[in-house]
Amino acid sequence: MAGLKGRDLAFSDIDLARLLIALAVLLLAAHGMGSLFARFHQPAAIGEILGGVLLGPSALGAVSPTIQHWIFPATGSSAAALGAVYQLGLLLLMFAAGAEMRRLLQRNAVRTVGLIASFGLVIPFAAGLGIVAVLGVRQFIGPANNYTALTLVFGMAVAVTSIPVISRIMHDVGLLGTRFARIVLSVAVIEDIVLYVILAVVVGLVQTAGSTAFGLPTALNIHSVAQNSVYHVIVAVLFLAVALTVGGRVYRWLRANPLAMRSPVAFQLLWMLALSAAALALGLVPLYGAFVAGIAVAAADGEEDEELGESVTVRQRNTLSGISFGFFIPIYFAIIGIKLDLIHHFDVLFFLGFLAFACVAKAASVYLGARLSRENRFMSASLAIAMNARGGPGIVLAATAYAAGIINETFFVSLVMLSVVTSLLAGSWLERVAVRLGAPKRKPAQDGPDVPSERSELGTA
């Protein structure tokens, strides 16, 4: 094709109407439910997902399937455009998560953080692999028909902790500046980095084996499972290592150009898209590239803090954050809600068993690590409950694995619901015990102003 012509870019009136109406109702439902949840000190992202559920087959589709299918068609130009917004929302969410890594990772309480991270990640992951070996989960395998990838996703679903959800909860209840918060967030940073490395490897295995695969693995003619595993682990770790060591300096050097001076936000978007494309070319999932791009920006931010005592990068990133969390990311979460068919693909008995197993495995391992680091029983129990919140990373894991064909719709619904329920449980517990963990007592007259009017970069996820 010589190039895009006018008719290639044009929407029909009906497609454009569908797209505009879909975006409007998605924003209204996501922000409406997100604000409602935030008002009660619950993760806004959970409300945004439930806003999407109201527009999906579980609610609107059950009442009026004709209207639901008209607004959200499965195929066509408007469906493709919504898919593009969904993908951009995911990339921007991962960019924001990576950009927060330097600020959240703390150096104190090294013994406690090390033990909890080791026990709280390895034991639940091993428990997940063990239950797969004993019971088998082939009934949840997706179209990619890759049992190894399914097994790894199952293990990570049990082990993952959410930085965004738990940080927002602790902010709302006044815990964010406490030693408890520093321990939780430091451990969660380590776990999230491991999660995204494994996720990049898992999706890379599936993509390399597929007929639509492209990039370096295909050029190197890598096809066997063993070769795929070795290649993707090495490349994912090296990609992250480069970002941690020289990413900040490269970003600052490249920023000295007319585009960055004219529009810093446009340059940050270009940086994110470039590293996402680079990850894809290496055979990794593009969200991993966006995550690494955010880490590099955070490194540049740290260098500026040391040199200037303030950060131009932070102010620029906050501008991008307003766009991301005002439009793209709420729509991303709402579309996940639309994909949840709680009527036809929600296995309640399996979910309850999976919820109990995941919570016990994660809580017991975190509690053990905390007790071995000589934390008292109450502190250890609170850490165990808080780190059961799976939130944004759990949802990203579910959505990415489902999109890659690793898991089927029934397991996808259970994974998202696991993230929703565990996040709500953690929020309810911390709301009750915040003062005992070091949060200041809140006066009734100050309850309203204490609720932030604007979301931080990770506040919604």
User: At 174, is the secondary structure helix, strand, or coil?
Assistant: coil
Q: CA-to-CA distance for 387 and 184, rounded, in angstroms?
A: 7
The whole-angstrom separation of Cα 49 and Cα 29 is: 9
Cβ atoms of 158 and 127 within 8 Å: the answer is yes
| Tens digit of each residue's pLDDT, the chain (461 residues) | 455 555 555 567 888 889 999 999 999 999 999 999 888 877 788 889 999 999 999 999 999 999 999 999 988 888 999 999 999 998 998 888 787 665 554 555 677 888 898 999 999 999 999 988 888 888 999 998 888 889 999 999 999 887 666 766 776 677 767 888 888 878 887 887 888 888 888 887 786 555 455 677 777 776 666 677 788 788 888 888 888 888 888 888 888 777 777 888 888 899 999 999 998 888 888 888 898 898 888 877 655 544 444 445 555 556 777 888 889 989 998 999 999 999 999 999 999 999 999 999 999 999 999 999 888 999 999 999 988 988 778 888 999 899 889 999 999 999 999 998 998 888 888 888 888 888 787 654 444 433 333 344 444 44
Which domains, ranges and CATH numbers included, belong to the chain?
80-437 (1.20.1530.20)
> Long-range pairs for 214-222 at CB < 8 Å and ≥24 separation?
215/280, 215/281, 215/282, 215/283, 216/281, 216/282, 216/283, 217/282, 217/283, 218/283
For the chain, helix (H) and strand (E) counts, in that order, are 24, 0
